[in-house]
Amino acid sequence: MLRIAQIAPLAEAVPPKLYGGTERVIWWLTEALVDLGHDVTLFASGDSATSARLVPCAETGLRLAGINDHTASLIAMLDRVLRAADQFDILHFHVDFLHFPTFRHLAGKCLTTLHGRQDLPDFRPAFATFREMRLVSISDDQRGPIADAQFAGTVHHGLPRDLIPFSEKGGDYLAFIGRISPEKRPDRAIEIARRAGMNLKIAAKIDRADAAYFEAEIEPLLDDPLVDYVGEIGDADKAAFLGGARAMLFPIDWPEPFGLVMIEAMAAGTPVIAWRCGSTEEVIEPGRSGFLVDTVGEAVAAVDAAGSLSRAGVRAAFEARFTAERMARDYVRLYERLIGEETTALFGKTMIAAR
Amino acid sequence: MLRIAQIAPLAEAVPPKLYGGTERVIWWLTEALVDLGHDVTLFASGDSATSARLVPCAETGLRLAGINDHTASLIAMLDRVLRAADQFDILHFHVDFLHFPTFRHLAGKCLTTLHGRQDLPDFRPAFATFREMRLVSISDDQRGPIADAQFAGTVHHGLPRDLIPFSEKGGDYLAFIGRISPEKRPDRAIEIARRAGMNLKIAAKIDRADAAYFEAEIEPLLDDPLVDYVGEIGDADKAAFLGGARAMLFPIDWPEPFGLVMIEAMAAGTPVIAWRCGSTEEVIEPGRSGFLVDTVGEAVAAVDAAGSLSRAGVRAAFEARFTAERMARDYVRLYERLIGEETTALFGKTMIAAR
């Protein structure tokens, strides 16, 4: 049994009230670690709900509380973590690099999962300066732009086995889910549906930043009788939306570091047709859980092929590789390796001191 | 002679290539401290220019380099400051609170100037958590929302005595300078000019965030033949623009923590008509360097009165209270007090240890 601290960003509650992929993954991980018998403490906002011990570090999630700059709340939380650090075997951080300066002397028991894209130069000075802090990538592809940073491993996300039930039958439409934004390429999804002559249901929110893009590029395409924009859907409707689809389209045009919605579709038994981009090659097994494509033409062909894929096989691919339990076991293996290295290092020091 | 480190934000070079009030003030302060004979080291971006010793902590200012999130670059810089900390008597930070966690053990020689508004709740957890870190406000009014934070003093900004020459004659228009934004209230400036029957020249930039406000609220008002929108002006034109005005209007509607443009106008000998709001009561001496008003009616009356104010008297008010030399001397006084307290504290400890 390990004494584990999970340190969450304070942007959203754990689990989040609305959106928040990172907080959702932290929630699943924390529950799965508790299920595996570990002693887990969660540093997160006060409106979080967990089977672990909760240390509330802000009244509520900061975004919905209207706090724009989260840094002060985070460094105040990190101060609490630091004061409690000797109560833990492992400190697992999900706050990018903000803890590096104050935890470098404890680097041997710190692990940091990077949840975001790393192709922008903004974060690099932190990885270059605090090289003793060990990182975890959520896909191998995510590491590309910072390949020389100090990675301890890749742990793909997982979700609870029973969160999205297997849907044996599927249906007669293509699904697009997420955000309407240029890098998610809903325009490609619409073109694929038209050329395949198949219905497309779009369940997506439109962030304020993407309103102009929606109006200029996407809204004019929604007239097509094949295309049905159903707006934003909640978690409760997601299983039915994904489970009722022939295939999910994931025609992204940016280095998506993981892409939770792919494994959500797989959990429902729905194959995923994804652009070969970012993490998709690591998630999709072509011909088993979906298809990887480079062009709209290939995607149209994949829509056809998806109809003859075994939905039970898609579900099996999910269960084999993308459950929260598998994710938790992967992390425990990394925790144990870290502790082992630390013990070796200490033992080495003792030997030298004894001479 | 003190060994002083100035730690600048990396957003802009010191001095800034374009905008950047904070970096401009740090430049003036650093030059004035060097002039007073101190040994000053400036931690700033590599394209900075200073009479002090420069430690370049980023290639160029981050904003113009397209870096959006400055935090990683800042914590990498703070690591360099920390490694050099024992070479300095005083570490003077201009990066809000980001250094608090790693410099708290050196709090006795750290001083932090807050350059921004403090009426938003975002920063408060940092001030509440790291109470040993001593702060400097740039106006007493700035402290209002965080009155219980640990302030060592207020130091009003100052600018080099010869930066903006005294303009004996003034002219026949009102000046508005800065940004077109709702909190700067250019609409009020236009109303004042209309009711006073006087020309208004508006020298202001329009940030992307304010484009909609400009189009909806301000552009329709620019038809008035009394109003002349001259767009954005550079530093070179500022002295003539301010010096040629009858009065400068500063009709703000937000808690402006200082308002450099007020003392720039005063340096030119141009009286300032300011709303009683934020720092203005601390900067303007009514009837000497300008007028404080609460309504457009009062502002119109002040336009009249401004014509009979002595411009030499306005300049004298600037020279008495708002030069960079005065600012530097104020800071040195705070540095020395800090060092004195630290010495007393150390001496106290020694006495106890000796018993």
C-alpha B133/C-alpha B139 separation (Å) is 18
CA dist B44 to B21, B30, B40, B109, Å? 15, 12, 13, 19
Q: Report the pLDDT averaged over residues B192-212.
A: 93
| Residue contacts between A and B (CB atoms, under 8 Å) | 79
Taking only the tens place, the pLDDT of each residue in B254-270 is 999 999 999 999 999 99
CB A282 within 8 A of CB A156: yes
Residues contacting residue B23 through CB under 8 Å, at least 6 positions apart: B8, B9, B11, B12, B13, B14, B15, B16, B44, B61
CA–CA dist A98, A129 (Å, integer)? 12
Per-residue model confidence as pLDDT tens digits over B293-303: 999 999 999 99
Chain B positions in Cβ-Cβ contact with residue A101 (cut-off 8 Å): 75, 78-79, 82, 101-102
- Note the pLDDT tens digit of each residue in A286-317: 999 999 999 999 999 999 999 999 999 999 99
User: Min CA distance, A131 vs chain B (Å)?
Assistant: 11
The alpha helices in chain A, defined as continuous H runs, are 21-35, 71-84, 100-103, 124-129, 140-143, 186-196, 211-213, 235-243, 260-268, 280-283, 296-306, 311-321, 324-354
Put simply, the answer to whether B71 touches A98 (Cβ < 8 Å) is yes
Kindly report which listed range (A9-23, A267-281, B41-55, B264-278) carries the lowest average pLDDT score.
A9-23
Comparing C-alpha atoms, which of B30, B17, B5 is closest to residue B234? B17
Q: What is the ipTM of this complex?
A: 0.90
In the predicted model, what is the mean pLDDT of chain B? 94
Could you tell me which of B269, B272, B253 has the C-alpha nearest to residue B261? B272
Question: What's the average model confidence in pLDDT over A330-353?
Answer: 78
pLDDT at A355 over 50: no
- Top residue of A60, A62, A67 to mutate, by most chain B CBs within 10 Å, is A67
Residue pointed to by tokens 């303007």: B284
A124 touches chain B (CB under 8 A): yes
What is the pTM (predicted TM-score) of this model?
0.92
Q: Does A67 touch chain B (CB under 8 A)?
A: yes
Sheet containing strand B173-179, edge to edge, reads B227-231, B199-205, B173-179, B245-250, B272-275, B290-293
Residue B235: pLDDT band with limits 50, 70, 90: confident
